[in-house]
């Protein structure tokens, strides 16, 4: 069974800045990590591989340093990794990203199953996975909590609002895996060191031959016009120290200040 | 008699301890401690906090400093359980070669002289009993004591500050010092980010890795470098219920338990100040909360584990962090007077702040309040770096 997992490298914390002109995240100085629900997707893929045999291939679109995320995936137990990187892929919307991923899956596949995290922790649209499925003409189940192979079909227990729903899909198919749906596999010192030495192949648009008018910034159908801080996000936590009396006095002051607002 | 006004910049272990020791001069000192973040939450929070009786990167030459720190925290813990975050795991110090063996044996003798337990073990089966993950074949022996372990630098800093406040001192949390005012060659005041001016008789820089930037505020070149303290939290592949992982010391790295995981870090004496991968002058404000470690560290860690502690080589990598240790070129702190009058330093502890801060702060407080120096202050004075 050939499984592909689409992953994304995201900032490790919320402490990131946004370019005031393009409204894109400035990632250069941010510590980056694998998108959390993608770790669940990789873990689900590795479990299915253990059940049915085969290979797990991870792909990510991003700048050259997104290799770090791929190396984590390899250290977790993935078999191969591809980096999709080209200036013309950057600055696009979710559809542009999905087009690049679809082309890369066609180039490196075919695959029996494509998995992705259900949403990224930075963009959080949850759109890319289903868009890829649509472009590939595959059935897709979102927010999967459990994936099992049953009689050549993929059985997916998915979260739908407050209920859980089970769907069965013929292969090939796609699923997006929910955050926290499993305990992500940890890389070990040994496997991480091995992964750090792997030469990761790169695909550029020379390999994928996409029309640059439909991807990246020129192809973006949606445009971020502004970014707004979530209401309340400027709230600060304050550690109250001192004697119990001093702390009590400060709490009273804070309550009075709140009352005056 | 007018109180001596003392401003302390930095609320890590250095500033917190100094503020407390100054506050013991009852009615004589007016102390204000400025911390731009929270108490004990900068480099101190990323300290390993191991205070080992007979091994540390702090040389045996300063064993009394280590003992004073250890006993200060033991008493703190006895006064209020948890106030020093003591985790008495014991320590296993491994001797891969003869030179190390001699050093450990001297440390054991010193620990015993102070009334603590300590033994040098050459029975490999016994060493494996203490640390089942170890490879005892490539070592000569190991020193072991059950009496010491880990102290929590953040807890200790907060306890010191709490005691200082109880003695009448003031702490300004979330307050960044943005300007230090000189009159001629004398520091006389500082300004905080809200524009407030604070006049002082003495200002002490306790900002550790930030000291170069703090020094610039007063026109002083503080000769510290940063070395990288890269740490990993490992999830061992084998769970051993009831087993206590001791503080483990090899010359190149050390490890200790962190809940069910193991914290592991490269020893600061294995850092080369001339290697740009190890040392440089960076901005601690740009450090991420987690991550930031270099790939070379994984290789280093694997080589060390594979060779010395193979039971941990297949541990899961749970998380990692990077912090900067502040080090002068001789790896000793810079304490006391500087070329700027009334501007003092208590910085450059290089990862040994938790161990050294009590003895240094005790002596520095006496110097500030009475003008009396000590042998320790003489050896760790700024002027040694001007030679």
Chain A closest CA to B225's CA: distance in Å? Answer: 22
Subunit contact B298:A193, Cβ cutoff 8 A: yes
From chain B, the residues in CB contact with A186 under 8 A are 235, 316-318
Mutual orientation of helices A67-76 and A36-52 as an angle, nearest 10°? 40
- Between A75, A189, A241, which is nearest B161 by CB? A241
Same domain, B205 and B270: no
Q: How far is CA A188 from the centre of its chain?
A: 22
From chain A, the residues in CB contact with B255 under 8 A are none
- Between B173, B291, B315, which is nearest A31 by CB? B291
Looking at residues B278-286, what average pLDDT do you find? 80
Question: Domain spans of chain A?
Answer: 2-219
| DSSP 3-state of A235 | coil
| DSSP 3-state of A225 | coil
Name residues whose C-beta falls within 8 Å of residue B358's C-beta, 6 or more positions apart in sequence: B17, B21, B68, B69, B72, B73
Same domain, B245 and B379: no
CATH annotation of A2-219: 3.40.50.620
CATH number at residue B208: 3.50.50.60
Subunit contact A239:B173, Cβ cutoff 8 A: yes
Number of domains in chain B: 2
Same domain, B247 and B129: yes
| DSSP 3-state of B273 | coil
Phi, psi at A51, each rounded to 5°: -75, -40
Same domain, B202 and B110: no
Please, what sign has the CA dihedral across residues A62, A64, A69, A71?
positive
Chain A closest CA to B310's CA: distance in Å? Answer: 11
Q: What value, to the nearest 5°, has the Cα angle with vertex B382 and ends B376 and B384?
A: 80
A217 by Cβ neighbours in 10 Å (0-12 / 13-18 / 19+) ranks as middle
**B310 touches A at CB < 8 Å:** no
Does B53 fall in a domain?
A: no
Q: How many CB atoms lie within 10 A of CB A112?
A: 18
Same domain, B94 and B13: no
Structure tokens at A245: 């009396």
Does B72 fall in a domain?
A: no
**Per-residue model confidence as pLDDT tens digits over B115-139:** 999 999 999 999 999 999 999 998 9
Subunit contact B295:A241, Cβ cutoff 8 A: no
Looking at residues B43-50, what average pLDDT do you find? 80
Burial A187-200 (b: 16+ CB within 10 A, else e): bbbbbbbbbbeeeb
Same domain, B195 and B136: no
The span from the CA of A84 to the CA of A216, in Å, is 13
In terms of average pLDDT, the best of A198-207, B5-14, B60-69 is B5-14
Name residues whose C-beta falls within 8 Å of residue A115's C-beta, 6 or more positions apart in sequence: A3, A4, A5, A6, A41, A42, A44, A45, A147, A174, A175, A176, A177
Does B292 fall in a domain?
A: yes
Q: Quick one: residue A151, left, alpha or beta (phi over 0 = left, psi -120 to 50 = alpha)?
A: left
CATH number at residue B259: 3.30.9.10
| DSSP 3-state of B230 | strand
Question: Residue B305 above 80 pLDDT?
Answer: yes
Phi, psi at A170, each rounded to 5°: -75, 150
Looking at residues A141-156, what average pLDDT do you find? 91
The span from the CA of B94 to the CA of B121, in Å, is 10
Same domain, B166 and B196: yes
Q: Are strands B50-51 and B334-337 parallel, antiparallel or unpaired?
A: unpaired
Same domain, B182 and B322: no
pLDDT on residue B277: 74
Does B62 fall in a domain?
A: no
Do B313 and B329 touch, CB atoms closer than 8 A? Answer: no
A125 by Cβ neighbours in 10 Å (0-12 / 13-18 / 19+) ranks as middle
pLDDT on residue B74: 96
DSSP B87: B
Do B180 and B187 touch, CB atoms closer than 8 A? Answer: yes
Strand positions, DSSP E, B59-192: 91-95, 119-121, 141-145, 149-150, 170-173, 177-183, 186-192
**B298 touches A at CB < 8 Å:** yes
pLDDT confidence bin for B34, thresholds 50/70/90: very high
Name residues whose C-beta falls within 8 Å of residue B375's C-beta, 6 or more positions apart in sequence: none
- Between A13, A186, A189, which is nearest B305 by CB? A189
| DSSP 3-state of B94 | strand
Subunit contact A241:B301, Cβ cutoff 8 A: no
Question: Residue B275 above 70 pLDDT?
Answer: yes
The residue from B286, B306, B326 where one domain ends is B326
- Tell me: ipTM over 0.90: no
Structure tokens at A104: 């890369």
- Between A33, A189, A239, which is nearest B315 by CB? A189
Number of H helices and number of E strands within chain A? Answer: 8, 13
Question: Residue A15 above 70 pLDDT?
Answer: no
Chain A closest CA to B377's CA: distance in Å? Answer: 31
The span from the CA of A203 to the CA of A58, in Å, is 13
From chain B, the residues in CB contact with A243 under 8 A are 162, 165-166
pLDDT confidence bin for A123, thresholds 50/70/90: confident
Q: How many CB atoms lie within 10 A of CB B185?
A: 11
Chain B closest CA to A68's CA: distance in Å? Answer: 10
Structure tokens at B190: 């500082």
From chain B, the residues in CB contact with A14 under 8 A are none
Do B76 and B159 touch, CB atoms closer than 8 A? Answer: yes
A241: closest chain B residue by CA: B162
Q: What value, to the nearest 5°, has the Cα angle with vertex B356 and ends B354 and B361?
A: 105
Q: Are strands A55-61 and A2-7 parallel, antiparallel or unpaired?
A: parallel
Place of tokens 């075919």: A110
Same domain, B173 and B291: no
B237: closest chain A residue by CA: A188
Question: Residue B262 above 80 pLDDT?
Answer: yes
Does B173 fall in a domain?
A: yes
Q: What value, to the nearest 5°, has the Cα angle with vertex B28 and ends B25 and B31?
A: 85
The span from the CA of B145 to the CA of B93, in Å, is 9
Chain A residues whose C-beta sits inside 8 Å of any chain B C-beta: 12-13, 29-31, 33, 75, 186-190, 192-193, 196, 238-239, 241-243, 246
Name residues whose C-beta falls within 8 Å of residue B244's C-beta, 6 or more positions apart in sequence: B89, B90, B257
DSSP B97: S
- Between A33, A75, A189, which is nearest B291 by CB? A33
B296: closest chain A residue by CA: A193
Question: Residue B147 above 70 pLDDT?
Answer: yes
Same domain, B39 and B125: no
Subunit contact A239:B317, Cβ cutoff 8 A: no
pLDDT confidence bin for A25, thresholds 50/70/90: low
Closest CA to B243 of B152, B311, B317, B313: B311
Closest CA to B236 of B127, B309, B151: B309
The span from the CA of B129 to the CA of A163, in Å, is 51
The span from the CA of B332 to the CA of B353, in Å, is 11
pLDDT confidence bin for A16, thresholds 50/70/90: low
**B251-280 residues touching A, CB cutoff 8 A:** none
Looking at residues A216-233, what average pLDDT do you find? 72
Do B328 and B223 touch, CB atoms closer than 8 A? Answer: yes
DSSP secondary structure, B319-371, as one string: EEEEEEEEE-TTS--EEEE-SSBTEEEEE--TT-HHHHHHHHHHHHHHHHHH-
Phi, psi at A44, each rounded to 5°: -65, -40
Percent of chain B with pLDDT over 70: 96
Burial B318-345 (b: 16+ CB within 10 A, else e): bebbbbbbbbbeebbbbbbbbebebbbb
Q: How far is CA B248 from the centre of its chain?
A: 17
What is the span of the domain harbouring residue B255? Answer: 86-148+226-326
Does B59 fall in a domain?
A: no
Structure tokens at B14: 């250095």
**Per-residue model confidence as pLDDT tens digits over B150-201:** 999 999 999 999 999 999 999 999 999 999 999 999 999 999 999 999 999 9
DSSP secondary structure, B113-131, as one string: HTT---EEE--HHHHHHH-
**B318 touches A at CB < 8 Å:** yes
Chain B closest CA to A57's CA: distance in Å? Answer: 21
Q: A167 pairs with which residues across the strands?
A: A156
pLDDT on residue A172: 94
Place of tokens 């820089």: B205
Same domain, B118 and B40: no
Strand positions, DSSP E, B14-169: 29-35, 50-51, 91-95, 119-121, 141-145, 149-150
From chain B, the residues in CB contact with A190 under 8 A are 302, 306, 313-314
Same domain, B342 and B320: no
CB pairs < 8 Å spanning A and B: 69
Do A74 and A198 touch, CB atoms closer than 8 A? Answer: yes
pLDDT on residue A200: 93
């Amino acid at each position: 069974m050939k499984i592909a997992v689409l992953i994304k490298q995201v900032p490790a914390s919320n402490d990131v800045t946004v370019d005031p002109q393009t409204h894109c995240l400035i990632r250069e100085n941010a510590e980056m990590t694998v998108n959390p629900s993608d770790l669940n997707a990789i873990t689900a893929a590795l479990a299915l591989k253990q059940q049915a045999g085969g290979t797990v291939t991870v792909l990510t679109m991003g700048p050259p340093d997104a290799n770090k995320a791929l190396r984590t995936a390899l250290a977790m137990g993935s078999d191969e990794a591809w980096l999709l990187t080209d200036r013309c892929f950057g600055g696009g919307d979710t559809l542009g990203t999905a087009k690049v991923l679809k082309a890369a899956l066609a180039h490196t596949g075919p695959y029996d199953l494509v998995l992705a995290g259900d949403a990224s922790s930075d963009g959080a649209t949850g759109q890319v996975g289903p868009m890829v499925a649509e472009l590939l003409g595959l059935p897709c189940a979102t927010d999967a909590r459990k994936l099992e192979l049953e009689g050549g079909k993929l059985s997916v227990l998915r979260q739908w609002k407050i209920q859980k729903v089970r769907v069965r899909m013929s292969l090939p198919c796609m699923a997006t895996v929910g955050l926290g749906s499993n305990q992500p596999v940890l890389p070990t010192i040994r496997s991480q060191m091995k992964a750090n030495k792997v030469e990761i192949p790169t695909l550029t648009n020379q390999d994928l031959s996409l029309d640059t008018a439909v991807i990246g910034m020129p192809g973006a159908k949606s445009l971020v016009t502004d970014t707004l801080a979530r209401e309340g996000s400027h709230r600060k936590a304050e550690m109250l120290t001192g004697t119990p009396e001093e702390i009590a006095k400060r709490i009273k002051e804070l309550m009075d200040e709140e009352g005056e607002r | 008699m007018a109180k001596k006004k003392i401003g302390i910049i930095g609320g890590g272990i250095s500033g917190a301890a100094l503020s407390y020791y100054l506050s013991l001069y009852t009615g004589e000192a007016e102390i204000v401690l400025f911390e731009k973040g929270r108490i004990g939450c900068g480099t101190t929070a990323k300290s390993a906090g191991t205070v080992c009786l007979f091994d540390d990167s702090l040389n045996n030459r300063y064993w009394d400093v280590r003992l004073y720190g250890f006993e200060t925290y033991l008493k703190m813990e006895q006064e209020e359980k948890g106030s020093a975050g003591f985790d008495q795991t014991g320590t296993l110090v491994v001797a891969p070669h003869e030179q190390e063996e001699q050093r450990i044996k001297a440390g054991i003798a010193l620990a015993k002289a102070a009334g603590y337990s300590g033994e040098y073990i050459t029975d490999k089966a016994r060493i494996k009993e203490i640390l089942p993950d170890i490879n005892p074949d490539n070592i000569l022996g190991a020193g072991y004591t059950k009496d010491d372990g880990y102290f929590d630098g953040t807890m200790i800093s907060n306890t010191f500050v709490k005691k200082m406040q109880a003695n009448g001192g003031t702490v300004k949390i979330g307050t960044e010092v943005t300007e230090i005012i000189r009159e001629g060659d004398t520091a006389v005041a500082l300004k905080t980010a809200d524009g407030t001016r604070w006049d002082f008789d003495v200002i002490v820089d306790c900002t550790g890795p930030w000291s170069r930037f703090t020094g610039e505020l007063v026109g002083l070149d503080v000769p510290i470098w940063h070395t990288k303290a890269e740490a990993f939290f490992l999830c061992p592949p084998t769970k051993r219920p009831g087993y206590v992982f001791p503080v483990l010391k090899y010359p190149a790295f050390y490890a200790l338990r962190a809940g069910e995981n193991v914290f592991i870090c490269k020893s600061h004496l294995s850092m080369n100040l001339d290697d740009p991968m190890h040392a440089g002058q960076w901005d601690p404000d740009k450090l991420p909360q987690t991550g930031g470690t270099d790939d070379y560290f994984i290789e280093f860690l694997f080589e060390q584990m594979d060779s010395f502690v193979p039971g941990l080589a297949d541990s899961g990598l749970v998380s990692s962090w990077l912090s900067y240790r502040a080090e002068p070129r001789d790896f000793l702190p810079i304490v006391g007077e500087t070329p700027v009058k009334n501007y003092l330093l208590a910085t450059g502890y290089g990862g040994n702040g938790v161990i050294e801060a009590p003895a240094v702060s005790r002596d520095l407080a006496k110097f500030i309040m009475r003008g009396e120096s000590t042998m320790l202050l003489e050896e760790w004075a700024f002027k040694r770096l001007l030679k």
